[in-house]
Chains A and B, each alone.
Chain A
């Protein structure tokens, strides 16, 4: 394995500094545009803006969209199933946060 020299770079925090457009989100999570649009219509993703051209997605959408893509493509779950699974993921995350606040008891 050959190595090249080290490059030093700055990254931007997606969640705080770069709202993603529909096209950017599709590219970032390697999902077809029709899937992302369907997820928005189903309420899985909640971008700011009215029309698809104006939609701006936050970084949290990136994680959700990647999860939705995995559920759709690899587990072959349909749209309402994906929406339900993501709601349950949110529920688990909320319970885990609650548990974190309390600490190990």
Chain B
């Protein structure tokens, strides 16, 4: 496991005050929150930041981290020294959050539930619910899919040493699922304490960006480029959809921006979404003499002012 420099992640010196840490965290958290940022790395950065802040904002955890961390640099191989946390009582409320699948192995080894020693022995409590994101292809929502995800869980061996155990789950993604929806996997969250039942795992669905299709809720949009004569005279075309090709009739006199709706061809469901073909006009370049003649003939034939609506 690699050592993580939480100070570097938050961007503060090791002797930063709690206020400095809070300010630096908030600034970066606003920048990288996945609901705000369009940076493709935002998700990863935000998770890293959340993990670093979970340690540094809590003076107890920060002191413990400082004690282990002063000899290491980011990225070095790291094993927590035996009994490293002796003398620290992790009592903070946030500490109840235990093993979070979004936290790194490094965090889990230092601050995971097992590392907290015998806390809760003899107690019975339901395990926490966990959250994770799953990226799927648009086609998976049309057909349903099977996705393998791995979860990390710290477990201690008979000598009390912490090992990270990886658990693989094969999750069936149901047909008709949409971005932002959650799958609940009952009993797959944090194990319960004592005889308590385990928590649930919530998977938030996100679509991978698609070169051809754009997704809005249950509806799917695609650009359909036409030659000027196809738009003006109308035509019948074979167009690709996420579930195979369909025959589409473009009415004569179609303008750019017009949306042709293919009812029920969006993401399937009780109320299936629609597929929209958004017309765009591609202008053929005039290179050869023939081509230039064709444009000249058009200029002759049309009484057309492209700037008719422009004033002045």
Contact = CB atoms under 8 A, between A and B. Distances in A.
A6 B129 CA distance: 21
Contacts of B121: none
A6 B148 contact: yes
Interface string B177-209: 110111111101000000000011011100000
Interface string A30-48: 1000000000000000000
Given A1-B165, A62-B202, A75-B29, A30 B128 contact: yes
Interface size class of B (residues with CB under 8 A): 35 or more
A2 B168 CA distance: 11
Interface of B: 25-26, 29-30, 33, 35-36, 53, 97, 105, 126, 128-129, 131, 146, 148, 152, 163-174, 177-178, 180-186, 188, 199-200, 202-204, 214-217, 221, 223, 257, 259, 269-270, 276, 278, 280
A51 interface: no
Given A3-B168, A7-B170, A75-B26, A101 B182 contact: no
A74 B183 contact: no
Interface in A60-105: 60, 62-63, 66-67, 70, 74-75, 89, 92, 97, 100-103
A10 to B, nearest CB: 5
Given A6-B169, A13-B182, A74-B29, A27 B199 contact: yes
Interface string A1-30: 111111111111111101000000001111
Given A13-B174, A67-B35, A74-B26, A100 B221 contact: yes
Contact of B180 (A9, A12, A63): A63
Contact of B204 (A3, A63, A74, A75): A63
Contact of A1 (B146, B163, B200, B257): B163
A29 B169 CA distance: 22
Contact of B182 (A2, A9, A59): A59
A11 B184 contact: yes
Given A14-B181, A100-B216, A74 B166 contact: no
A11 B131 CA distance: 13
Contact of A59 (B181, B185, B278): B181
B92 to A, nearest CB: 12
Q: Name which of B53, B146, B182 has the most chain A CB atoms within 10 A of its CB.
A: B182
